[in-house]
Chains A and B, each alone.
Chain A
């Protein structure tokens, strides 16, 4: 009987313990936004979600140190959170009306419009916070501007570049200059020569990934949604040219499709292909093959033949947002303005060790940006990229960016597999209209 009593008591105790939550984690039950006081003289801790320890987390930590010099009461606490996880937590918190968001969130540019428009109350309007938005590359500030209000402080640069293995180009009789300021037609012609003479395709791309196509679209200032935000696939001449170009790249063997990101990285690092075209953050991947130092060169991307076509575009990149629920939102805004929106020192510090390239244009004038890079044959690639960034055409990705990208990805897969262009595109248009017509 005693044993029975014991086991029952134990069980009740355990269940009771659960329900009352006696096992709270280390007593710190709330995340940052609540644990700091609102008075400026108090200690203020700004919590930040971002996702790459060597890249944006490092940049944020550095910004925190710089800001603390003038504001010793302000501390920055970075909570490393994968981008997908940030999106999940953000969606859950906003829909669940809970106050679990940090003070500052880093967001992929692709998701900026979606989240700002869907959750208008979740983010703090930075328009009148004193941040000088005109000092950033204009296409970046445009992405975070909704109804004339600025919500985001641009961070890293997604300006498109093409990296080439100059040694392979030389074998085919080319230099990097032959691939600078060219058109896609020329690119394919020269690519065929390189393939014939060296057996190396110029590019690799993840099959079914819309990234490269979107990059090409933006280079002409065009998008798959019209100015009213309606799907614009069917009579979109730029899209037609982009897809035709892609199909020709693939058919001629100048571009080889791989199945996933790992194989994409592998194709670049193992010299399966002679180049890489992407947002400039791809440099980190290219340079990770240290044994190829001195062999790579960087230049801009080819341009389309349609009106408005340029050799510049953007892919990826991210921006900082301040959460409206934050008790320290004014401090957070001031912090971002003083560091990411005002400190050349910050960008100078983070560039050499993280390769984090700014869209804050004054940073381009610093000495760090003018330093020749041995990996790229002594070229001053950072100056180059900063210049590219200032020329990227503006487009508005819109709320349904991910739906649109998926529709394009599906369409290109079908077209490469042999489906007729018009059929695939009208299916994509229908698919997107369905998702948007909720």
Chain B
């Protein structure tokens, strides 16, 4: 009775309909302002005094020592922190997916807590724990690891370590929950038969868990790369970019240029596009490695 499209075509139409609302929203809410911001990167001044300056802002980048510092800092965070956090999250997730471990719900909730904890409170406590006369120093002194207090927030590398610790502390549990939800899609029988074949726990982890979780690992890797390159909260609240800008992140610099300094929106947009390019290239590489359907 009904006139039906051929099944394949119908399905195709339905599939596009399914992703239409999401795609349209992103196009309007992200791409449109992105293009606007891109155009902005070829201007200087703002409002009525705005003028087109070609690639002036892009040339300026090369003379900007603060930008170079921020870029370097951000890469230090990226290279050290992202792998550290993802590996930790994977280990925790697979431990908490083990049916023999008890009190899993409690552990899961506790490890998730940091990302729910307010930035305000945790930055206050991190700063006070790592103060000169703080908790960290007294523990290390008592253990005779150090013989004089470390000025954690006042020296370059200790301050960077604090930031790396803080991000790891805050986001490990967050990444863990994606792994946990992903682990549910792995058939427990695979582990059972591996055990029968005599595979050790670490072999199971490497040969089963990681390959089967690959799509989710890719997701978290891209997300964390993106998150680190847009890092703002930790450097703003823990060290405020100091000492002497040696921990400032790119996003904090963009914020300064837009809202603290006499605004340089064109230049801020230019730096944003450098971030964009960097994340895009890194994500592209990660997709190349991790997004094969086998």
Is A241 among interface residues, defined by CB-CB distance under 8 A? Answer: no
Residues of A within 8 A of B261 (CB): 400, 402-403, 435
Known: A88-B259, A91-B259. A438 touches B244 (CB 8 A): no
A97 CB within 8 Å of chain B:
yes
Q: A118-B262, A417-B243, A438-B267 are in contact. Are A97 and B64 (CB under 8 A)?
A: no
Is A62 part of the contact surface with B, judged by Cβ < 8 Å?
Answer: no
Asked if A75 is at the interface of the complex by the 8 Å CB criterion, the answer is no
A84 to B152, CA, bound (A): 27
> Contact check: which of A91, A208, A263, A400 meets B242 at CB < 8 Å?
A208
Interface presence of B44 (CB below 8 A): yes
Q: Is A114 an interface residue (CB 8 A)?
A: yes
The answer to whether A262 touches B244 (Cβ under 8 A) is: no
Interchain nearest-CB distance for B33 vs A (Å):
11
CB of A65 within 8 Å of the partner chain: no
Interface size class of B (residues with CB under 8 A): 20 to 34
Q: Knowing A91-B259, A402-B260 are in contact, say whether A434-B244 is a contact too (CB < 8 A).
A: no
B138 on the interface (CB 8 Å rule)?
Answer: no
Minimum distance in angstroms from B267 CB to a CB of chain A: 6
* B215 interfacial contact with A, CB 8 Å: no
> Of the 9-residue stretches A232-240, A253-261, A285-293, A385-393, which lies at the interface with chain B?
A253-261
Known: A95-B46, A208-B243, A413-B242. A434 touches B262 (CB 8 A): no
Stretch at the interface among B124-132, B178-186, B272-280: B124-132
Q: Assess the B243–A413 pair: CB atoms within 8 A.
A: yes
User: Nearest Cβ in chain B — how far from A85, in angstroms?
Assistant: 10
User: Do A431 and B243 have beta carbons less than 8 Å apart?
Assistant: no
Given contacts A208-B244, A413-B243, A438-B44, contact A259 B259 (CB under 8 A): no
- Judge whether B65 and A207 touch: CB under 8 Å: no
Q: Are B258 and A91 in contact (CB under 8 A)?
A: yes
* A212 interface residue (CB < 8 Å to B): no
Given A207-B243, A413-B243, CB of A259 within 8 Å of CB of B131: yes
Contact of A403 among B127, B131, B244, B262 (CB under 8 A): B262
Quick check: is B112 within 8 A (CB to CB) of the other chain?
no
Residue A300 CB within 8 A of the other chain: no
Q: Which residue of A lies closest to B53 (CB)?
A: A438
A87/B262 contact (C-beta < 8 A), A208-B242, A262-B124, A434-B64 known: no
Question: In this complex, what residue of B is CB-closest to A87?
Answer: B259
Give bound CA distance, A208 to B66, whole Å.
16
By a CB distance below 8 angstroms, the chain B residues around A87 are 259-260
A-chain residues with CB within 8 Å of residue B227 when the two chains form the complex:
none
Interface size range of chain A in the complex: 35 or more
User: Using an 8 Å CB-CB cutoff, how does the interface string of A69-95 with B read, 1 for contact, 0 for none?
Assistant: 000000000000000100110010011
Which residues in chain A, 186-211, are within 8 Å of chain B measured between CB atoms?
207-208
User: Complex Cα distance A262/B262, Å?
Assistant: 28
In the complex, what's the smallest C-beta–C-beta distance from B250 to chain A, in angstroms?
Answer: 16
Closest to B152 in A: A259
Interface string of B241-280 (1 = CB under 8 A from A): 0111100000000001011111111010000000000000
Chain B contact residues, majority secondary structure: loop
Residues of B within 8 A of A88 (CB): 259
Which of A11, A259, A399, A402 is in CB contact (< 8 Å) with B154? A259
Q: Does A284 contact B (CB under 8 A)?
A: no
A262 to B44, CA, bound (A): 38
CB distance from A304 to the nearest CB of B (A): 25
Query: Contact flags (1/0) for B222-256 with A, using CB distance below 8 Å?
Result: 00000000000000000010111100000000001
A residues near B265, Cβ cutoff 8 Å: 95
Q: Which of B118-143 contact A (CB under 8 A)?
A: 124, 127-128, 131-132
Q: Is the CB of A257 within 8 A of B262?
A: no
Asked whether any CB of chain B lies closer than 8 Å to the CB of A377, the reply is no
B213 interface residue per 8 A CB criterion: no
Rounded to whole angstroms, the CA-CA distance of A84 and B132 in the bound complex is 29
Given the known inter-chain contacts A263-B128, A417-B243, A434-B63, please indicate yes or no for A207 contacting B154, CB distance below 8 A.
yes
Q: Collect the chain A residues with CB atoms within 8 Å of residue B46's CB.
A: 95, 118
8 Å CB interface, A397-438 against B: 399-400, 402-403, 406, 409-410, 413-414, 417, 430-431, 434-435, 438
Chain B: minimal CB distance from A208 (Å): 4
User: Using Cβ atoms and an 8 Å threshold, which residues of chain A touch B258?
Assistant: 91
Given contacts A97-B47, A263-B131, A438-B267, A413 and B244 within 8 Å (CB-CB): yes
A385 to chain B, nearest CB (A): 29
A68 is an interface residue with CB less than 8 A from chain B: no
Interface: A17 (CB within 8 A) = no
Complex Cα distance, B258 from A334, in Å, reads: 33
B6 within 8 A of A: no
A403-B262, A410-B245 are contacts. A259–B127 as well, Cβ < 8 Å?
Answer: yes
B134 to chain A, nearest CB (A): 9
Once bound together, how far apart are the Cα atoms of A117 and B161, in whole Å? Answer: 40
**Whole-angstrom CA separation of A365 from B151 in the bound complex:** 48
A118 to B267 Cα, complex, angstroms: 16
Interface pair A260/B153, CB less than 8 Å apart:
yes
Chain A residue at minimum C-beta to C-beta distance from B153: A259
**Contact A258–B244 (Cβ < 8 Å):** no
Cβ proximity bits A1-18 to B, threshold 8 Å, 1 near / 0 not: 000000000010001000
A435 surroundings in chain B (CB, below 8 A): 261, 264
Would you call B21 an interface residue if the criterion is a C-beta within 8 Å of the partner chain's C-beta atoms? yes
In Å, the complex CA distance between A430 and B245 comes to: 15
Are B244 and A410 touching (Cβ within 8 A)? yes
Inter-chain contacts of A11 with B (CB < 8 A): 21
Question: Cβ of B64: which chain A residues have Cβ within 8 Å of it?
Answer: 434
Docked CA distance A9–B243 (Å) = 57
Q: How far is the CB of B35 from chain A (nearest CB, A)?
A: 16
Residues of A within 8 A of B242 (CB): 207-208, 409, 413
Our pick among B131, B240, B262 for the contact of A258 (Cβ within 8 Å) is B131
Q: Decide if A257 touches B65 in the complex (CB within 8 Å).
A: no
Partner of A118, one of B21, B153, B243, B263: B263
Q: How far is the CA of A97 from the CA of B48 in the complex (A)?
A: 10
From residue B217, how far is it (CB to closest CB) to chain A in Å? 32
| A97–B66 alpha-carbon span in the complex (Å) | 30
Q: C-beta contact mask, A85-109 vs B, less than 8 Å → 1, else 0?
A: 0011001001101000000000000
Interface contacts beyond A259-B127, A438-B264: sample of 4 additional A-B pairs, CB < 8 Å, sorted by A? A402-B260, A403-B261, A403-B262, A434-B65
Q: Which 4 A-B pairs have the closest CB atoms?
A: A413-B244, A259-B153, A208-B242, A410-B244
Interchain Cβ contacts under 8 Å between A and B, 17 examples: A11-B21, A15-B21, A91-B259, A94-B47, A95-B47, A114-B262, A118-B46, A118-B263, A208-B240, A258-B132, A259-B131, A259-B152, A402-B260, A402-B262, A414-B244, A435-B261, A438-B44
